[in-house]
Amino acid sequence: MRKTLITTAISAALMLSACSEPSTDATINSKAAETPTTMTKAPASVANVLLTPSPLQYMAPQFDKLQASDYLPAFEQGMLEHKAEIEAITNNSEAATFENTIVALEKTGAILDRTQRIFFNLSGLISDDNFTSVEEQIVPKLTAHQDNMYLDEKLFARIQAIYKNKATLTGEDLRLVEVYYDSFVRAGAELSPADKTKMRELNGQLAKLETSFSQNLLKSYKDDVIVVEDKAQLDGLSDSEIASLAAAAKDAGKTGYMITLVNTTAQPLLSSLKNRDLRKKLWETSAYRAMETNAPLNINIAKLRAQKANLLGYPTWAAYALGDQMAKTPEAVYGILDDLAPKALVKAKVEAADIQAEIVKEGQTFELAPWDWAFYAEKVRKAKYDLDDSQVKPYFEMNTVLNDGMFFAMNKLYGISVKPRNDLPVWHKDVSAYEIFNQDGSSIGLFYLDLYARQGKQGGAWMDELVSQSFLKNTQPVVYNALNIPKPAEGQPTLMTFDEVSTLFHEFGHAIHGLYSQVNYPSLAGTLTARDFVEFPSQANEDWSIDPQVLANYAKHYQTGEPIPAELLAKVLKAHTFNQGFGTVEYLSAALLDMEWHSITADTEITDVAAFEKQALAKHGLDYTPVPPRYKTTYFSHSFGGGYSAGYYAYLWTEVFAADSFSYMMSQGGLTLENGQKYRDTVLSKGNSQDLMQSYIDFAGKKPSTDALLKRRGLVH
Ligand SMILES: [Zn+2]
């Protein structure tokens, strides 16, 4: 996923107030770099590195100089500065113009932008009690600050005046005005004073609940662990897996072996644990996590969102949330999900029958349960393809995958090269920093990679931007990828599963979307597109991991250096669509849950989250016990903790674009610099600076169709 900063709309608001400081880096061309007149004076406390632009290249954050005590004062000062800058704009006696209002707004909020990017990213990467405490204190204030801007009548009047004259504008300027106007209207700028007060109250309550939801979840990663005393129970795991469980227990001050949950319902170890009771325990710990703490919050959040949507004139939160997306309406989303659901379910039931046959073959009589699926699917895979993870993993050593796989593919496609930058400070010792260069040697930006799972790090994988590209501000991108690959025991190589390889490519697809951005305005840069567009470049990038030329270059045995045998490689490729019935059903179930929670009316009576889930899935024919949703309500961060509410469908929506674009590239010669350049010019560099469907059409010459998606998932042949 692409991480969205903190709760719902705050990031959007603060993104609109991006920073204005000129870069101090001499390597940037000197085009912009005007000192804004409204900038507040430098603070007395120079030790707080959040208060001044970083002197490092491209304003890379000074992670080594950050102190826990820096955040609160920087947020406070950032809000004051931003408020003063906005007042200067609204009090301008001259009539509103694009330059003196919209462009001026783009230049505001330097300290706040820097602080919130660093704080909210680090709070997902290295959270501790200090982050939790600052977050609790600051989120209500940020929410109120955001409302002050969006509900400011004088400011909106200026934006409205410019919007009415938008016919005089073209290109990116016009796009920016439309984005601003829509954001203000969608935040409640046209409401009556009484309704604006209600809006502030709702936003305040939601911000608190969403913060609590995320914090409960972070706490659950620490608390909901399974400690195994008897090594024999871990039968089926490899020596290195057992060693890392022992190391995890030791780190946590426990004896024995500790299994930590990952963010999805399914857990990686379920595919190899032979002990059925332990599998059941692991699965149940995962599926029922945060039930007591988060279930009441889920119900409240869903209802408050419905109320907020009503206030803005929409029947449901889903209708509101989809209003500015490519899909536009809930009907369009249900349409695509419901169309795929029966096809996927048929495939999943065929897979289940194969699995049940495996169970019977073992002389067992039990009926397939969710905690059995991965374990027996692995056996089916072995039988069908003569392939299992332990055979394949030695060919996917992390450094080789990264350098000879992903960076190699990116070089073939875009001509880019990558240089480690060990001189730059990082937020954790396991993080690597790189500088990315064009083929002509010019520097694009900085990229950090944070691969390993650890306590205090949010689950899953994501990308975000620490500094976004803008010609107006003369900034170049600084982006990062975070994954959650289990860290091997000391001295052991990191051997990846094929899924992890795919995730690495996925997240780098977001990274290049941020890195290749070539726009004027920070609000339109890089990955700041509609949610149901932003997962297109990332999913498109996944497919390069299975390009034969790329695979042949990186899939090499970590001990012998031997390339993966052709026969094994053929099996890996053939097995790629294995278990896609399961994968598609678990995804669709989660996407439909997300939609159903956000299709309720404000007065809907809900007392039991589990009952709501069951009913919602039954409504769409997906109440199929062996394949539970990829995320259940109480740990569904996309839906309740971040900016993907009524938006989880976006992965499927964008996969249509990804699959279609990949098949188009293949028809044009595949992995070539010409294809890469065209894609970069028409899609990746554009950010949100033009209509998104137009970007796609500029690239592929037509709108996408679902044919390639169905083939990609192996749902048709
Ligand atoms: Zn993503």
Q: How far is the CA of 384 from the centre of ligand 1 (A)?
A: 31
261, pLDDT greater than 60: yes
The answer to whether position 709 is within a domain reads no
Asked whether residue 333 is assigned to any structural domain, the reply reads no
pLDDT digits (tens, 9 = 90+) for 85-126: 999 999 999 999 999 999 999 999 999 999 999 999 999 999
Residues 277 and 414 in one domain: no
Q: What pLDDT score was predicted for residue 290?
A: 96
Q: Above 70 in pLDDT, residue 224?
A: yes
Average pLDDT over residues 163-185: 97
In a domain, 118, yes or no: yes
Catalytic residues: 507
Average confidence (pLDDT) over 55-77: 97
Looking at the predicted structure, is the pLDDT value of residue 181 above 80? yes
pLDDT value at residue 323: 94
Quote the ligand 1 centre to 275 CA distance (angstroms). 34
Residue indicated by tokens 């007065």: 603
Q: Quick check: 14 and 114 in contact, CB under 8 A? A: no
Output the CA 29–ligand 1 centroid distance in Å. Answer: 32
610-653, pLDDT tens digit by residue?
A: 999 999 999 999 999 999 999 999 999 999 987 789 999 999 99
| Helix 330-361 × helix 580-597 angle, to 10° | 140
CATH of the domain at 507: 1.10.1370.40
Residue 44 has pLDDT above 80, yes or no: no
Note whether 276 and 420 are same-domain residues: no
pLDDT at 502 over 80: yes
Pair 228, 182 in one domain? no
Distance 505 CA to ligand 1 centre (A): 10
Determine, yes or no, domain membership for 151: yes
The per-residue pLDDT for 258 is 97
**How many Cα atoms are found within 13 Å in the side-chain-facing hemisphere of 267?**
23
Domain boundary among 261, 287, 313: 287
Last residue of a domain, one of 533, 557, 581: 557
CA of residue 534 to ligand 1 center, whole Å: 7
The domain boundary residue, chosen from 510, 529, 557? 557
Residue 463 alpha carbon to ligand 1 centre in Å:
7
Task: Give which of 663, 691, 661, 693 is closest to 679, Cα–Cα.
Answer: 661
Q: Looking at the structure, do residues 182 and 228 belong to the same domain, yes or no?
A: no
pLDDT of 37 higher than 50: no
Mean pLDDT over the full length of the chain = 91
Cα 538 to averaged position of ligand 1 atoms, centre (Å)? 6
Per-residue pLDDT averaged across 396-423, rounded? 98
Cα-based distances in Å from 155 to 48, 93, 160, 172? 31, 12, 9, 21
Average pLDDT over residues 20-29: 28
How many angstroms separate the alpha carbon of residue 511 from the centre of ligand 1? 10
Per-residue model confidence as pLDDT tens digits over 454-481: 888 888 899 999 999 999 999 999 999 9
Ligand 1 centroid to residue 554 C-alpha, Å: 23
Reported as a pLDDT band with limits 50, 70 and 90, residue 34 is: very low
Summarised one tens digit per residue, pLDDT across range 510-537 is: 999 999 999 999 999 999 999 999 999 9
- Closest-CA residue to 14 (of 652, 643, 703): 643
Task: Find the mean pLDDT for residues 479-496.
Answer: 93
Same domain, yes or no: 419 and 490: yes
On the question of pLDDT at 46 being above 60, the answer is: no
In the predicted structure, residue 30 carries a pLDDT above the cut 70: no
Of residues 388 and 86, more confidently modeled: 86
Helix residue spans in 151-235 (DSSP H) = 153-164, 171-187, 193-223
Distance 512 CA to ligand 1 centre (A): 12
The per-residue pLDDT for range 264-306, each reduced to its tens digit, is 999 999 999 999 999 999 999 999 999 999 999 999 999 999 9
pLDDT of residue 489: 83
More confident residue, 366 or 386: 366
3-state SS class at 314: coil
- Is residue 180 domain-shared with residue 36, that is, in the same domain? yes
Q: Tell me the CA–centroid distance for residue 696 and ligand 1, in Å.
A: 18
Q: How far is the CA of 159 from the centre of ligand 1 (A)?
A: 33
Residue 418 bridge partners (DSSP): 436
For residues 34 and 559, which has the higher predicted lDDT (pLDDT)? Answer: 559
Q: How confident is the model at residue 416 (pLDDT cuts 50, 70, 90)?
A: very high
pLDDT at 2: 52
Q: Are residues 134 and 264 in the same domain?
A: no
CA of 563 to the centre of ligand 1 (A): 30
Is the same domain home to 101 and 250?
Answer: no
Is 664 part of any domain? no
**Cα–ligand 1 centroid distance for 510 (angstroms):** 7
Would the pLDDT of 31 be above 90? no
714 CA → ligand 1 middle, Å: 21
Question: Residue 543 C-alpha to ligand 1 middle, in angstroms?
Answer: 13
Together in a domain, 22 and 148: yes
**Over residues 653-675, mean pLDDT:** 95
Return the structure tokens found at 346: 């048929």
**Sign, Cα dihedral of 446, 450, 456, 461:** positive
CA–centroid distance, 507 to ligand 1, in Å, is 6
The reply to whether 167 falls in a domain is yes
pLDDT tens-place string over residues 536-594: 999 999 999 999 899 989 999 999 999 998 888 888 777 777 899 999 999 999 999 99
pLDDT above 90 covers what percent of the chain? 82
In 3D space, the residue among 507, 409, 395 whose CA is nearest the CA of residue 451 turns out to be 507
Q: For residue 626, give the nearest of 370, 427, 418, 342 by alpha carbon.
A: 370
Residue 453 lies in a domain: yes
The amino acid that residue 653 corresponds to is W
Confidence of residue 40 (pLDDT cuts 50, 70, 90): very low
- Count: domains in the chain: 3
Compute the distance from residue 2 Cα to the ligand 1 centre, in Å: 5
Same domain, 109 and 15: yes
For residue 203, the model assigns a pLDDT of 95
Distance from the alpha carbon of residue 41 to the mean position of ligand 1, in angstroms = 39
Same domain? For 28 and 114 the reply is yes
Q: Is residue 119 part of a domain?
A: yes
Same structural domain, 402 and 483:
yes
Q: How far away, in angstroms, is 540 Cα from ligand 1 center?
A: 10
**What's the pLDDT score for residue 16?**
34
Task: State how far the Cα of 11 lies from the Cα of 142, in Å rounded to an integer.
Answer: 10
Residue 379 vs residues 23, 235, 354, 430, 713: alpha-carbon distances, Å: 56, 15, 10, 34, 21
Kindly give the pairing relationship between strand 478-485 and strand 443-452. Answer: parallel
Q: 423 is in which domain, residue-wise?
A: 397-557
Q: Is the pLDDT of residue 508 over 70?
A: yes
**HEC-encoded secondary structure of 2-39:** ECCCCCCCHHHHHHCCCCCCCCCCCCCCCCCCCCCCCC
Concatenating the DSSP letter of every residue in 403-433 gives: IIIIHHHHHHHH--EEEE-TTS--SSTTEEE
Q: Write phi, then psi, for 113 (nearest 5 degrees).
A: -60, -45
pLDDT band at 33 (very low <50, low <70, confident <90, very high): very low
With a pLDDT cut of 70, the percent of the chain lying above it is 93
